Each structure stands twice: as structure tokens, then as C-alpha cells.
A and B are shown apart, each in its own frame.
Chain A
Amino acid sequence: MADEMLPAELLTALNEQFPCRAPQIRRLAALVGTDETPSPPSIVLHGLEATGKTTVLRTFLDGVRASYTWIACHECVTVRQLMERISAGVTENVGGVDAGRAGDVCALGVKLSGALSGVERKHFLVLDRVDRTKEGSSVLLAALGRLGEMIPSLTVIFILSVPKPRLLSSAEPPHIHFAPYTKEESIKILSKYVRRIPFQDIEEYTEEDAKEELYVWQKFCGTVWDSLAKGTARGIVQFRAIVDEMWEPFVKPIAEGKYGTRNYSSLYLLHKEMFRQETNVIDVVVPVVTGEKAVAKMHDLPYYSKFLLCAAYLASYNPARQDAVFFMKSADFGRKKRRGGATGPTKRTAKNRKIHRRLLGPQAFPLERLQAIFAGILPHRISSSADIQTQIATLTSLRLLTKASATDVLEASTKWRVNAGWDYIRHVARSVKFDIEDFIAE
């Protein structure tokens, strides 16, 4: 530890543990160094999700036995909580006495300089995921950066995903970029965790088998990357999750002895469908089990709620001036309008508005319009009772209908908006045998 340079064994061990991060580790070694070498007041580590920022730094600091305080900023709900954590953490690690709370950055500066004044060793304050602090402003980061300048023995290390220029409003601190892994790097990393092929008829696991497995695994990782992960899951963690998910069904024929390990291409052809569908890429809470769909018990909305929802959709996506065309019960009115509309104005609007209304998002509408459309699309007349109002309220608390203006709910001019997609609405409309397609304006 007393040497000027870091021991070479440590670096080799780290490089072994974290492949493809050699430049970053070298830079860290230079900046963090040992207790004798000076460190800059602040360091910024940046890089996208799952590029090893946190793990590398933590292992490195542990490896060189530096004195450091680790603060997980994303766990802090307020700035005050963050400040208190920092002050508590530093005092605890340095071994000073607890001298009250530090509610803001100024108090924190005073406290930390007090706590670190008598300390000989360098101290590192690591702010992990500092960009995910819930309340933080840009000034906060700059102020925290100053801490390192005010207190000589302190170095503040920021870990964040994307740095902004002039992030700390001071002379640029050294940045270490953790670049996203490329395809080759990803496969190299994943090769450290080769999953076994669950061979059925095997007595002993030999060196040969391990080699074969590595071969299939690397080939397989490459295929997954090219077909799925390249576009959807570039983070190493996500990539690994997909590979894990797909591995077992993929090697099943090998495990059963139907395929050899070396004819990968025919195995790929067998599973071609697997790389086409996206089920493994889409994140869901409940994993989809194939063949389960038969027992789908749908919870149903009440009959009139469904019509209300359809009416809300129509009110949101149809222009109000066309309501008479679609919902007037007397037939001749609609025809006249339609014929008239076919000549002049339609051509002009067609030129101007090319975007489909569905893509423009739901428009706000007054409740009166919803009720009028509701009355218009019902197959039979019902007089509006309190039950209809209750259902509107229920749809609101289900967030299928949302309030779009800040005024009171009871006010007649309050606007509303539908909050359900076309697929859902079409499904609802079909269940009450309502041809919603006929009423949608093109």
C-alpha cells in the first residue's frame, strides 16, 4: 500500500474480474491513486445503464483500501435526506463525533470540513446515481462539487448516466466514460457465465463438454444479439436476461441427443421462430406461459359503462363539428352534410391534415358532449339516471376517463379526455355489438 504505484497484481485481478474495462480501471488508478498521490477535488464517472460504473468503482475502492463513503442517491427522496445521509455517512466512516444535523449544502460543507480537518488520509465521497436524486437541481451538483475544492482531503466522485456540459459550473473535472459494450465485448463477458446444457444421458462432466458448451453458448449469444438484443436490449443485464430466458428451450434438442453440438446452423433453423417473436424482449410482470390463454376470464364492465367508454373515445377522437353527421338520428341530415362535404372543404382539409387523428392523441371534450354522443349511439333510449353519472365517476376512478382541465368536477365547462387505446375500445365495442368503426371520422 505504501508504494507510489498501485500493485500490478491488483490491476490484473480487477481486469480479470471486469473484462473490457481496462482503460477505465487504469484511469481510476491514476486519479484515485494512493494516499500519497494527490487526487482531484471531483471526478465524474459516466456511462449508460449496466456499463459497470458502480461495481467497478466499488471493487476498486475496496481493492486499494481507500477511505470512502458510499451514498446511494436514488434512495433519497429529498435533498435534505441526501445531506443528512452524507454527513452521517462521512462522520461515521472518518470516526468523528456526531455534531447535529446538516439540513442543506452550506451546513454540510461546514460539517464535513470539521469532520475531515484532522484526518490525514484522503477521503472519497461517492455519490452513486446522483442524477436520480428526486428533488435535486443543477445548483445542487455544483455545490456538492465545490465541497472537494473547499476541503483538501476530500474527493467527490459523481456517478451519473449522461453528463451535461458545465455540469459542476467549475473548471472541468476529470471524466471517465464507461462506454457501452460492443457485441464482441458483450459476448466475451457473457462467456464468463456459460450456462450448462442439461444433458440427459451423461455420467461425467468432462473438459470436452465444457468446451462444446462454450462454443454453442458463444454462437448463441451472437445470434441473440443480432436478432433481438441489438435493437432492444443493449444493456448487458438485459442482454443476459434474454439469453438466459431463451437458452434452455434452444438447447433442448441437444440435451435430448437429437442434435449435435457442432451443427449450430441447423439448430438455428429449427428455432427460427424463436428469434422472430419478441415475447422475451417485452417486459411484463407476469411471464407469459404459452397455451394458457384458453382460460382467460375477463372481468367485464357494466353494459352502459362500455357504451360510455365508446362515447368518450368518439368524443375524444372525432372533431366536434362532425358530430351531427355521425350521430343525428334523422337520416336525411347526415346525407346532406356528407354530400356537401364531399366537394370543396374536404379536398382542402385533406391537403392540410395528413396525420391520422388517432395519432394526434385524445382531444378534450365537455361532459355534455359525451352524454349527447352516448344517447346517440345507444341502440335504445334510456333516460339519464343517477346510475349513468355514477358510472362516469367509476370510469374516472379507473382512469379510463381523465379530467383535462383544472376546474371543479361539477362545473359544466370542465373538459374530459378518454384514456384508453384503440385496441381496448374496439374490444369493448365488440362485446356490446356496437360497430364503432362506422362512427370514427377518417
Chain B
Amino acid sequence: MESTPPEEVYVDEFDPKEHQGCYIFTPDGEEDRPTKRRKTKGKQRAAEKTAIVEEKCPFPVLLDGKETESTLRLRYRTYCKLWEAQEKRTKAILDSFNSKTLDDVSAFVKDATPEKYEGKIPTALVLAGPNIASHELLFQQLAQRIRNQDKTGPVVALASKDATNLKTTLRKLIRDATQQDEGVDDEEEDIIRKSTKLLNYDLQILQTWCESHEGQKVTIAIQDSEAFDSNILSDLISLFSSYLDRIPFVLLVGIATSVEIFHDKLPKSTIRLMRGNKFDVERAEECLAQIFNDSMTSDKAVLRLGATVCDFLLERYRDHTQSIQAFVAALKYAYMSHFYANPLSIILGFIDNADGLGEVLSAEHVEAVRNVPSFRRYVEGKMAAKEVGEVRKLLTDDNYVRRTVAEKILESRNYGIELGQALAFLEIGRSCTLIQNKTPRYELYAKALSGELQTSPSVRDFLMSLKRMNSTTLLNLLEKVMQEVQAPAITEPLRPLQEKIKKLVEEAEASGGKKNLISEFDTTNNTLRGTAVSKKVRLGEQKSSLTKQDTEYSALVQQVYTISESYLTTNFNSSQHGLQNVLLHEILFYDLRSPHSAVFAPRPRSTIERGLSQPQDYLACSCCTSADGEEVGIRGTQPPTSIIYQLYLESGALINIYDLWSAFYSVIAGDEEDFDVPTAQALFYKSLAEMRFLGFVKHTKKKTDHIAKLAWKGI
């Protein structure tokens, strides 16, 4: 019994015998325990069984409990299927994203020899940016690449948490390096180690290993150089340097801040031992743009985010995290929460093939469809168009609704795809102009959804500069659009124009050797003339200086302009083509902000502060709330901790305990003359202890009978 570890001793099973030095052991006590254990085991097994069943479908039953088992399952399966597809695409982007850095670094490791770097340790400084979460992935990829693809030798990844002191670090390094090869000559290794009897942190082990593996480089990857203890790091580096003639080390150093800070961290004599190159990892924004375009605006995306969630995610990315991983996690959460709470989300499973959708939708589902705001708007639209029969059918005939949903869902999906294409067109167009701030597509997306884009300067500026483009830029733009935008609505009318402009340029080249045709709207050359009159004069002059081809070209530019303008305005027009007019957009676009902000950016501190300073917000009891709902001050009926907290807010940095107690007593006693002092004291002590546990006050030695205030409200 005495051997029972303390964590297994339960309070309610207190056995006085266990605290005696000597006692008679009775075996019936033993009987008790195994039965209990068996019981719990049985329970566990049962729990596991149910867990397996539940695991299959962790979603709740919706539609007021009327959702059938099969649709519930279907909802979960659809979620899994769609997210899996999305995750796969995201992962592919993430994997391919670092490819350039990987290529560069692996080439560096392949070529690196100390001779090339003046006898110093070849060092690659990998500038990986401040997003620490992505470093691990990058270094894993690097290690895999060097180990499996390039086969230059073992790779040891050292993280700051492994490197508490030099000995353990070396031990890990040697173990990782020598055990990474195929394992064929493991026994041989052991023999070497035994015969020489080296300590397990002696780099000579690695030296013997290197002697038996000719031509292998030992790559040491230091993932988080900032978090490393600088003494250990410089000791390690000087050790590497002194062994460099026997062990061909290559260093990879991950830097999150800047090379200067890395230089400041180490002594100069250590820096002198390293020489190499630095490698910049692609900026995270570009990766975000790719993932965003894939998940929001591409035609493969099924569920998209609405404007508010999108704003929230992007703002959080820009201002707080700068982490792709956090963005992907939030995206996954959006998928999950959409399918978790929206019974109609099963429709998304039929987006590619509407067969069988009608059978799946129950009467309750149809009723839910009728309750959706966009459906109501749709019906009202029909009503306004005097299609009364249609409206009657929609409202009474369930099967008709089922058919309509199956038909219209594709149409609604196309809305998202078309919007994405229009945004792609706008982004490409803007990238070809001289506009200074290149707003990426993800910034434009939220604006487009909320209908702000139609009148925004982004579109206006683009159209203006489109008019002024010369033929080289315009052809370049058209070429890019043809390649990257798959929207026939814009590419079809533009293609003949592109041909014409090409021909015109060729003609001009053949006749006069002039390669660049100028649009008549281009007034950039004469900005020197400021007044309106002089501008007019210049315009006239310029017009006369235009060649015949230029004039023809200008006409074509005008056509391109008209097409683009009408294309963009139809797509971004909020009144006719806005999101709220899309039938069932509630299913295709997830736009709930509060679950995200509650889950990803909770506010524990202000919640606790509010709970303590305004307990009536949570308790909603009649005694603490005044009749007209106005704020009330401190009252004796409030919880004692709350009273203490409110008194605490009014005090200075040091609080006299006796003052606090008398204030507390006067509040809690209220008008009662003979309030029980011991009861009040007990409450006082208890609440003060709670305050201490919450980290608001601390015992202090600065002043006797005082406690120190540690937190201020509203920070």
C-alpha cells in the first residue's frame, strides 16, 4: 500500500493505516480496489464504444430535434469531404511556397566546404520572418530535402528547448547525427563507441562516424536562434569550428528578426568563425494571397467567407498574428461552424451534382429554406414581377421548392466564381498600371462583397489609367488577362480587340518603325502646363501630333475601356448584382463574426473585470439591478468578492487592510445595525483570498498592514 504514488491517493479513500509506520495488512482491502478498477475499466470501455459512435458524427441534431439521423450524418460527411479537399489544396500551396528557399539552401549545402569560406564554418542565415509557427514547417522541409533528396549527410535540428546546456545539446546532436543513416552499420558504430569508451557528448564519436562515412556533411539546423542562450550558441559554434578540419559541419541558422540582431547577440570572435550567405524566405503576404485566392475566389472553392468574417480574419492577420497557420485554422473553423449549425449546409454536398438533393431535403428543411432572408427576397421579387402563380407554388408546394433549390444553387455558386474572376481581372489590370498602392485581391474581396467596390477609387483609377495606356502596356495587360482570367464574359469581347491592336502595332512598325502607339487620352507628357486653357491648347496640339495609327489605336482603347467598364460595373454593382440578391447565399457564404472572435480572440481580462465590477450583468437578479436598468453602485447584496473588487478599484497602489475591511463591513452590513461581525469577516477573508488567486493583490513588505494593488481596470 505504501508504494502507491501520491497522485493515486484519493481524498475520500483516506486510509489512516497508510500513515502508520507499522500495521497489519488485511487482504479484503485489496479486494475492494480491483473491483473498483474493473468497474471503471468497464465504464471506460463503454465510454469508448459510445465515443466511437459519436466520433462518427459529433454534430448536434438541428431543426428543433427533427433532423433525421441520415441528414445529420450527411452534414458531417459533407463537411469532412469539403474541408479535406480545401485542406489538400492549401497544403499544396504551403508546400510549394517555400520551394525557392529550399532550392537555394540545398544548393548552398551541397556546395559548402570550409575551403570556400576561408576556413570558416559555412553558414546559411535563413531569414524566416517573425511568424514562429511557420519556422517548424520550413525547417522540416529543409531537413527532409537535404536528408532524402540531396543525400549530403545527416541533418540535426536543434531547437532552443533542447539546448538547456552544452552537454545535453551535444548529446542530442551526436545521437541524431549518427543514427540517421540506414542503420546497416549500427552495430559497427556500437563497437567503435565501446572500444574507445568515449563519453556520449564527445564529438569524437561524430568524428569516427565521419571517417567511416566519407564525403558526408553534417548539417546543423538551428531553428530559433533568438531563443537560444547566447553562451551555449557561441560555445557550440566555437566547438564546431575547432572540429571543422575533421567533421565537415554546415550551419543553418533561422533568424526571425534581423541579421543585425543576430550579430549583436554573439561575440565578435564567434561571428568571425562563420561565413556564408543569407536566404530570404518569401514574404508571408504572398502566401496568404495564394491561399486566400484559392479558398475564396477560385472556382474550386465551395464555401466562401462573407465580408465581415473576411475583414476580421485579415485584420487579425495584419495587426496581430501574421501567421498563415492561424489563418488556415480560422478557415477550418469557419467550415466547421457552418456545417455544425446550419442544417441547410447539406445542400453544399450536391453542388457538383444535384441528383438526389430532392429526396434528402425533408419538409423541415424546406421550411428552413423558406425562412432564409434571401428566399424571402426572392419571393418578394417574384411578387413585384407579378408572377403570382410562381409565388404560390414556392410557398405551398414543397417539391417545387426542392426543384428550385437544386436549380438555383448552381446559379448562386456561379456568383462567387464570377466575382472572383472580376477581382482577378481588376487585380491584374491594376498591376499593369502605374498605380502606387497595389491592393491585393484579398483586400478587394471583402469590399466587393459589401458592395463598396463599385464606387471605390480602386476601380476608377484603374479605368482612368486604362484609357491612357500605350500599346505595349495594353498588350501586356491583355495577354495576362487572357492567360489568367477564365471568364468568357470579359475575354471573349476583348480577344478581337487584342488582335486588332497587335495588327495595328505591326503596321506601325512596318511603316514608320514606331513601336509604341500612344493613346490620345494620355496627357502625362504635358503636366507642366497648369492652367485649364493651356491644357486645352496642348490637347489640341497633341491631337494634331498623333499619327493615323495612333488615332485608330485610340478608338480601340476606347472600346477596351467600355468593355472593361461595363464588365466591372455589372459585377460590382451592389443593387442588382449584390450578395443579398443571391438566392441561398446564406448557404454558400459563411458570415458570422462572433464565433470567430470568441474562439480566436477571447477577452478574458475584460470579462473578469466586468463580471466583478458589474455582477448584475451576469446575475440579472432583481436585488442588484435598479428599476430603470441604470448602473448601480456598490450594494451589500452583491457577491462579496465583487464588493471588494469595487472598493479595490477606488484605492491607490497600496491598500490598507483595515480601511478595506471597515469599508467592506459598512457595505455588507448596510442599514442593519447588528450584522454578525464573524460572518462578515469570514466573507472578507474568503473574497480577499479570491482576489489574490485572481492576481489582483499581493502581499507587500513596503508598508505594514497593506497589500499591493497589481492590476488596473480597463487596460
List of B residues within 8 angstroms of A366 by Cβ: 710
CB contact list, B233-273 vs A, under 8 A: 235, 238-239, 242-243, 256-265, 268, 271-272
Q: A302's contact among B256, B272, B319, B597, by CB below 8 Å, is which?
A: B319
Q: Evaluate contact between A101 and B710: CB separation under 8 angstroms.
A: no
Q: Evaluate contact between B601 and A387: CB separation under 8 angstroms.
A: yes
In the bound complex, how far is the Cα of B274 from the Cα of A301, in angstroms?
27
Q: Evaluate contact between A387 and B321: CB separation under 8 angstroms.
A: yes
Indicate whether B280 reaches chain A with its CB closer than 8 angstroms. yes
Query: Which residue of chain B has its CB nearest to the CB of A285?
Result: B274
Q: Interface on chain B toward A: helix, strand, loop, or mixed SS? A: mixed
In the bound complex, how far is the Cα of B603 from the Cα of A285, in angstroms?
43
Query: Which residue of chain A has its CB nearest to the CB of B694?
Result: A412
List of A residues within 8 angstroms of B243 by Cβ: 75
List of A residues within 8 angstroms of B356 by Cβ: none
Q: Which of A78-86, A192-200, A217-225, A343-351 contacts B (4 or more CB under 8 A)?
A: A78-86
Q: Evaluate contact between A287 and B711: CB separation under 8 angstroms.
A: no
Contacts A283-B272, A285-B263, A398-B132 given: A72-B319 contact, CB under 8 Å? no
Indicate whether A400 reaches chain B with its CB closer than 8 angstroms. yes
Chain B 571-612, CB-CB to A under 8 Å as 1, else 0, gives 000000000000000000000000001001111111000000
Indicate whether A286 reaches chain B with its CB closer than 8 angstroms. yes
Query: Which residue of chain A has its CB nearest to the CB of B202?
Result: A81
Output the least CB separation between B205 and chain A (Å): 12
In the bound complex, how far is the Cα of B198 from the Cα of A80, in angstroms?
11
List of B residues within 8 angstroms of A80 by Cβ: 199
Indicate whether B201 reaches chain A with its CB closer than 8 angstroms. yes
Output the least CB separation between A193 and chain B (Å): 14
Indicate whether A119 reaches chain B with its CB closer than 8 angstroms. no
Output the least CB separation between A70 and chain B (Å): 13
Q: Evaluate contact between B199 and A286: CB separation under 8 angstroms.
A: no
Output the least CB separation between B313 and chain A (Å): 12
In the bound complex, how far is the Cα of B278 from the Cα of A368, in angstroms?
38
Q: Evaluate contact between A283 and B268: CB separation under 8 angstroms.
A: yes
Query: Which residue of chain A has its CB nearest to the CB of B597?
Result: A385
List of B residues within 8 angstroms of A179 by Cβ: none
Q: Which of B121-129, B403-411, B502-510, B619-627 contacts A (4 or more CB under 8 A)?
A: B121-129
Q: Evaluate contact between B319 and A372: CB separation under 8 angstroms.
A: no
Q: Evaluate contact between A134 and B235: CB separation under 8 angstroms.
A: yes
Output the least CB separation between B31 and chain A (Å): 44
Q: Evaluate contact between B601 and A385: CB separation under 8 angstroms.
A: yes
List of A residues within 8 angstroms of B708 by Cβ: 413
Q: B170's contact among A77, A383, A390, by CB below 8 Å, is which?
A: A77
List of A residues within 8 angstroms of B226 by Cβ: 397-400
Q: A300's contact among B275, B322, B604, by CB below 8 Å, is which?
A: B322
In the bound complex, how far is the Cα of B278 from the Cα of A285, in angstroms?
9
In the bound complex, how far is the Cα of B243 from the Cα of A84, in angstroms?
18
Q: Evaluate contact between B260 and A424: CB separation under 8 angstroms.
A: yes
CB contact list, A56-88 vs B, under 8 A: 72, 74-75, 77-78, 80-81, 84, 88
Q: Evaluate contact between A297 and B712: CB separation under 8 angstroms.
A: no
Q: Evaluate contact between A75 and B276: CB separation under 8 angstroms.
A: no
In the bound complex, how far is the Cα of B265 from the Cα of A400, in angstroms?
11
Q: Evaluate contact between B603 and A386: CB separation under 8 angstroms.
A: yes
In the bound complex, how far is the Cα of B673 from the Cα of A169, in angstroms?
83
Q: Evaluate contact between A397 and B227: CB separation under 8 angstroms.
A: yes
Query: Which residue of chain A has its CB nearest to the CB of B264?
Result: A421
Indicate whether B548 reaches chain A with its CB closer than 8 angstroms. no
Chain B 200-221, CB-CB to A under 8 Å as 1, else 0, gives 0111000000000000000000
List of B residues within 8 angstroms of A322 by Cβ: none
Contacts A77-B166, A368-B715, A397-B227 given: A383-B201 contact, CB under 8 Å? no
In the bound complex, how far is the Cα of B606 from the Cα of A302, in angstroms?
23
Query: Which residue of chain B has its CB nearest to the CB of A372?
Result: B715
Q: Evaluate contact between A303 and B321: CB separation under 8 angstroms.
A: no
List of B residues within 8 angstroms of A166 by Cβ: none
Q: Evaluate contact between A297 and B695: CB separation under 8 angstroms.
A: no
Contacts A390-B321, A391-B320, A394-B132 given: A285-B127 contact, CB under 8 Å? no
Chain A 393-422, CB-CB to B under 8 Å as 1, else 0, gives 010011110000000001111000000110
List of B residues within 8 angstroms of A388 by Cβ: 320
Contacts A304-B319, A394-B132 given: A386-B272 contact, CB under 8 Å? no
Output the least CB separation between B119 and chain A (Å): 10
List of A residues within 8 angstroms of B604 by Cβ: 386
Indicate whether A436 reaches chain B with its CB closer than 8 angstroms. no
List of A residues within 8 angstroms of B129 by Cβ: 299-300
List of B residues within 8 angstroms of A383 by Cβ: 603, 606
List of A residues within 8 angstroms of B170 by Cβ: 77
In the bound complex, how far is the Cα of B235 from the Cα of A283, in angstroms?
18
Q: Evaluate contact between A412 and B711: CB separation under 8 angstroms.
A: yes
Q: Evaluate contact between B130 and A300: CB separation under 8 angstroms.
A: yes
List of A residues within 8 angstroms of B601 by Cβ: 385-387
Q: Evaluate contact between A302 and B318: CB separation under 8 angstroms.
A: yes
Output the least CB separation between A378 and chain B (Å): 11
Q: Evaluate contact between A384 and B166: CB separation under 8 angstroms.
A: no
Q: A283's contact among B265, B271, B603, B698, by CB below 8 Å, is which?
A: B271
Q: Evaluate contact between B271 and A284: CB separation under 8 angstroms.
A: yes
Q: Evaluate contact between A398 and B242: CB separation under 8 angstroms.
A: no
Indicate whether A270 reaches chain B with its CB closer than 8 angstroms. no
Q: Evaluate contact between A299 and B127: CB separation under 8 angstroms.
A: yes
In the bound complex, how far is the Cα of B265 from the Cα of A302, in angstroms?
23
In the bound complex, how far is the Cα of B274 from the Cα of A410, in angstroms?
38
Q: Evaluate contact between B712 and A368: CB separation under 8 angstroms.
A: yes
Output the least CB separation between B600 and chain A (Å): 8
Query: Which residue of chain B has its CB nearest to the CB of A302?
Result: B322
Q: Evaluate contact between B319 and A303: CB separation under 8 angstroms.
A: yes
Indicate whether A375 reaches chain B with its CB closer than 8 angstroms. yes
Indicate whether B316 reaches chain A with its CB closer than 8 angstroms. yes
Q: Evaluate contact between B275 and A384: CB separation under 8 angstroms.
A: no
Q: Could you write out 17 A-B pairs with CB less than 8 Å apart?
A: A74-B239, A77-B201, A78-B167, A81-B199, A81-B202, A300-B129, A305-B320, A368-B710, A372-B715, A383-B603, A384-B715, A387-B320, A388-B320, A391-B320, A397-B227, A398-B227, A411-B695
Question: Given A302-B130, A398-B256, list of 19 further CB < 8 A pairs?
Answer: A75-B203, A78-B199, A84-B197, A284-B263, A285-B263, A299-B127, A300-B322, A301-B130, A304-B320, A372-B715, A383-B603, A384-B715, A387-B320, A397-B227, A400-B226, A413-B710, A421-B264, A424-B258, A424-B261
Q: Which 8 A-B pairs have the closest CB atoms?
A: A299-B129, A412-B710, A387-B320, A385-B601, A303-B319, A399-B226, A283-B271, A302-B322
Question: Which A residues are within 8 Å of any B CB, using their own CB?
Answer: 72, 74-75, 77-78, 80-81, 84, 88, 101, 134, 238, 241, 283-287, 297, 299-305, 366, 368, 371-372, 375, 383-388, 390-391, 394, 397-400, 410-413, 420-421, 424
